[in-house]
Amino acid sequence: MRTFAGLLLVGVAACGFEIDAKPGDAAPDVAAPDAAIDASVPGFDPARCPPSFVEVPGYPHRYLWGPSVVTTGVLITWQFAQMRCAAMAAPDDYTPHLVVFDEAGERAAVWAAIGGSIGYQWIWSGLFKTANGTWASITGTAVAPEWAQLEPMDRSGATTTTKRAIAYGGNGGRPPGDLELPLDWSENAACECDGRDVVAMP
């Protein structure tokens, strides 16, 4: 009976249900999943993403980068990049937004897909600094920055705005990571279609 109960507990946890543990209960021995899965809206339907968006192996969402977002050789500000992403939706489509990396595996997969694109060193992401100094995502997903070497860095002397957002990438032989930049700086960008709405903006 104990063996059956233990298997049932592990099965429930593996399905994503929360377990209401009580004082004195032993912590369930649940192994971590073999592969990280990107958070998706329940019932996410890739067919409702704009047809130009593509799949990145291992993740259910759809992504877009390149000339459809940023004209080759031309960089854009964070606000304009977000507008470009949203404008690609047809009336029945999900509304895309700047990419929000839910975990390290998604960062690595997306960057592996676009990192070889000519001219790509940094891409705007959907993370921004709030008025109280914390970092938030435009979709409301709790995401912590994964800083590149020497980041975060104060660039106050080279901008007219105090608002900050995050670009992801790497150059000069540095490993990829997050870069803190003023919103009025210009970079490349990548869009994501995941069925989630934009709930916050800087």
List pLDDT tens digits, range 127-162: 999 988 899 999 998 888 999 888 888 777 766 677
Beta bridge partners of 129: 135
Q: Does residue 110 or residue 8 have the better pLDDT?
A: 110
Q: What is the pLDDT of residue 149?
A: 85
Boundaries of every domain in the chain: 48-193
Quote the pLDDT of residue 23: 41
Q: What's the pLDDT score for residue 63?
A: 96
Tell me the residue length of the chain: 202
Strands 191-193 and 135-137, sheet pairing: unpaired
Maximum Cα interatomic distance, the chain, rounded to a whole number of Å = 68
Computed over every residue of the chain, the mean pLDDT equals 78
pLDDT at 194 over 90: yes
Q: What is the mean pLDDT of residues 65-78?
A: 79
Q: Which of 23-32, 38-47, 73-82 has the highest mean pLDDT?
A: 73-82
| pLDDT given for residue 100 in this prediction | 96
CATH topology for 48-193 is: Mannose-Binding Protein A; Chain A (3.10.100)
pTM, 2 dp: 0.76
Looking at residue 108, what is its pLDDT? Answer: 87
- 23 vs 66: which has the higher pLDDT: 66
DSSP 56-101: -TT-SSEEE-STTTS-TT--B-HHHHHHHHHTT--TTS---EE---
Q: What is the DSSP letter of 165?
A: E
Lookup: tokens for 156: 């106050």
Q: Which two tokens stand for residue 31?
A: 């192994």
pLDDT the model gives residue 25: 44
What pLDDT shows up at residue 162? 78
Distance CA 157, CA 67 (A): 31
